[in-house]
Amino acid sequence: MPHDPYKALYIHIPFCVKRCGYCDFCTSAVAKDSPVMDEYVEDLVMQIRRKSKEGELGAIETVYIGGGTPSHLGLSRLSSLLYALSLSMHLTPEVECTMEANPESLTERMVRDIWAMGVNRLSIGVQSFDDEVLAILGRAHSARDAVAAVQMAKERFENVSVDLMAGIPGQTAESFVASVRTAIDLGVKHVSVYPLAIEPGTPFDKAILKGWMEEPDEDVEADMMEMAGRILEEAGFHRYEVANYALPGFESRHNSSYWSGVPYLGLGRSATTMTQNAQRRMRVCDGQVTDDLNPAQMRAEDLMLAMRMARGVTEAQVEEAARLLPAAPSAFAQLEELGLVVCEEGRFKPTERGWLCGNELYGRILDLAP
């Protein structure tokens, strides 16, 4: 269908050193010399060239190479990928280009070379700086590796992010707080904090069903998330999205595009592409249509996604949405009564409770569309 230009590009790398016990992402453990990774990168390079020829990469403003573990590809394959990108689109410094890396596979040389080839933001999958917690998670790196990886990254990258996880069985509040403080002390500019989610079919799910592992306690998770917020805010970070904190100017533009109705192109296995025009929004993953929205549903989804962001939506946007969603103004007034949103300076913003009860908040907004 004729569509608005893609503004964001996501490239999925579905390989890891080993599988972590909680993970249900599309990824598999492969040896670092596996020909499977060579073939996959060759195929990605062809897809990038094809999309460039079709004129789909001309308006891309952010690139995100995620996984899986992109750093597990090793430098030679990453070089092929980044070289193809640099020939196929304007990979200028204005384009935010993020790559995910894990401590066990990031090297000094990789840091230097990917930076020279246009990556300007590095997101490091740390989860915890506590060896006992890392062992429970089944991670392939130690706390020392994680500290070393952040220090290495900072040699070249100004914009370094780490992921941390809360509510892991066996993780104490002290351990979690120490990890948040370590991230701050290491000088990262962005921190993503997630509560552990038990996904069906994962080793963690099976261990809980068999009684070998305790189920994460939602209250403990909520307390830890709140502690993280307090500590990060004291250090100058602000929570710009439900799970993301940044120092001013270091908010992830790529992630923000997912929450602001920006069309994105996904390349690689299980990467979603969102294509849209004024009449229709479609999401396609591995050749399957996963969403096909009409204008009213699009508008409801835009309002819902915007409420993941601290800035929320303006009263004027809600009024405007009422042309397609007549119940929108009364629904936002009701959300305010429920304490899920607050109206400040002409904007409806999610409250802490709204973020904690996200399913209720987002569900009520999505229900606005027939």
Tell me which residues touch ligand SF4 (CB under 6 A). Answer: 16, 19-20, 23, 25, 27, 67-69, 102, 125
In this structure, the strands spanning 8-13 and 62-67 are: parallel
Decide whether 22 or 362 has the Cβ nearer to ligand SF4: 22
Decide whether 126 or 274 has the Cβ nearer to ligand SF4: 126
Residue 288: strand, helix, or coil = strand
Element housing 199 (H / E): none
Decide whether 13 or 369 has the Cβ nearer to ligand SF4: 13
Decide whether 254 or 281 has the Cβ nearer to ligand SF4: 254
Decide whether 20 or 224 has the Cβ nearer to ligand SF4: 20
Element housing 168 (H / E): none
The pair of three-digit structure tokens given for residue 55, joined into one six-digit string: 């004129």
Decide whether 115 or 194 has the Cβ nearer to ligand SF4: 194
Question: Measured from the CB of residue 243, what is the shortest distance to ligand SF4 in angstroms?
Answer: 15
Question: Measured from the CB of residue 89, what is the shortest distance to ligand SF4 in angstroms?
Answer: 26
Question: Measured from the CB of residue 68, what is the shortest distance to ligand SF4 in angstroms?
Answer: 5
Helix intervals (H) in 104-252: 108-116, 131-137, 143-156, 173-185, 203-209, 218-234
Decide whether 161 or 297 has the Cβ nearer to ligand SF4: 161
On the 0-12 / 13-18 / 19+ scale of CB atoms within 10 A, 181 is middle
Question: Measured from the CB of residue 54, what is the shortest distance to ligand SF4 in angstroms?
Answer: 30
Question: Measured from the CB of residue 71, what is the shortest distance to ligand SF4 in angstroms?
Answer: 10
Please tell me the distance from the alpha carbon of residue 165 to that of residue 197, in angstroms, as a whole number: 10
The string over 301-319, giving b where at least 16 C-beta atoms fall within 10 Å of a residue's C-beta and e elsewhere, is bbbbbbbbbbbbbeeebbe
Question: Measured from the CB of residue 103, what is the shortest distance to ligand SF4 in angstroms?
Answer: 10
Q: Which of 133, 125, 126, 218 is nearest to 174 (CA)?
A: 133
Place of tokens 């294509």: 275
- Rounded to 5 degrees, what are φ and ψ at 56? -85, -10
Please tell me the distance from the alpha carbon of residue 258 to that of residue 197, in angstroms, as a whole number: 21
Decide whether 137 or 183 has the Cβ nearer to ligand SF4: 137
Question: Measured from the CB of residue 69, what is the shortest distance to ligand SF4 in angstroms?
Answer: 5
Helix intervals (H) in 35-125: 35-53, 74-88, 108-116
Question: Measured from the CB of residue 196, what is the shortest distance to ligand SF4 in angstroms?
Answer: 11
Please tell me the distance from the alpha carbon of residue 52 to that of residue 46, in angstroms, as a whole number: 10
| Residue least distant from ligand SF4 (Cβ) | 23
The pair of three-digit structure tokens given for residue 86, joined into one six-digit string: 């640099």
Decide whether 170 or 363 has the Cβ nearer to ligand SF4: 170
List beta partners, residue 98: 64, 121
Please tell me the distance from the alpha carbon of residue 70 to that of residue 347, in angstroms, as a whole number: 38
Question: Measured from the CB of residue 282, what is the shortest distance to ligand SF4 in angstroms?
Answer: 26
On the 0-12 / 13-18 / 19+ scale of CB atoms within 10 A, 123 is buried
Decide whether 40 or 240 has the Cβ nearer to ligand SF4: 40
The DSSP call for residue 120 is: -
Question: Measured from the CB of residue 123, what is the shortest distance to ligand SF4 in angstroms?
Answer: 11
Please tell me the distance from the alpha carbon of residue 313 to that of residue 317, in angstroms, as a whole number: 6
